[in-house]
Amino acid sequence: MATLSAKERAQLPDRAFAYVDSSGQRRLPIHDAAHVRNALARFGQVAFEDDAARDRARNRLLNAAKKFGIMPIGFISAQLQPERKLPRGQVTFLLADIEGSTGLLHRLDDQYASLLAEIRRLVRTAVRSAGGHQVSARGDDVFAVFEDAPGSLEAALAIQRAMQSQAWPGGAECRLRIGLHRGRPALTETGYVGLSVHAAARICFSAHGGQIVLSSAVRDAIGGSLPDDVGLKDLGAWRFRGLPDALEIFQVEAPDLTADFPQLRSADLA
């Protein structure tokens, strides 16, 4: 394996790394052929801040491989077929979205990018710790998938708890709404496709910041696997735009989470 001492690493310029995150941390050195080969092998192990950061790092790595005459056939194949890594069949979706993101952007201006990066890091960490897979992180929302429903609830609780304990730039109040839904979508080369994907988005966007809501499909799949001191409050059956049937929605309740919210947004009681 290619090695690099701390002194040697410090002497390299930023352009000698495939990935430099928003905090200035430099990863995947690509200054010579040995390190390019090492970066190709380790690329899938790096937790990127978002899809755009991953794309930039991938392009820099491929350019470095070309410079040193390396043909990364296996790497290209793996990157072009990410759907192989995602679960198929019956899955549970987690969608998290920033409440009042436009107002936060206006207030924080240049600091908003670091806030967004930190939120994505918190969500990504919670998702992976609970056995999930991040599907995408675009704009102000993060989309993840789990093979088992209890894992999605574990991640949602960890995300909201981390959000509550975080100090945000400029003393801003930042809250996420989280929605969980379960279904059997099709997995294509461009990602998940199906009514359950749209339902997950509708459920998330109906929630309020700090709230976790889930469908009866998730409730049924969790069964008796609720963590201690965690309960589900029945919010009733709701009709969402574009969905043919009403969905029964539940609010996740825990002693350390906010419990009182207005009725759901962008939905009508059935």
> C-alpha angle with apex 110: 106 to 114, nearest 5 degrees?
110
Mean pLDDT over 104-119 rounds to 86
Mean pLDDT over 85-105 rounds to 90
pLDDT of residue 21: 87
Q: How far apart are CA 227 and CA 157, in angstroms?
A: 10
Residue 105 binned pLDDT confidence (cut-offs 50, 70, 90): confident
What predicted TM-score, i.e. pTM, was given to this entire model? 0.71
Residue 135 binned pLDDT confidence (cut-offs 50, 70, 90): confident
* pLDDT above 80 (res 187): yes
pLDDT of residue 239: 94
* pLDDT above 70 (res 1): no
Higher pLDDT, 71 or 222: 222
94 near 156, Cβ under 8 Å? yes
Mean pLDDT over 67-86 rounds to 64
* pLDDT above 80 (res 52): no
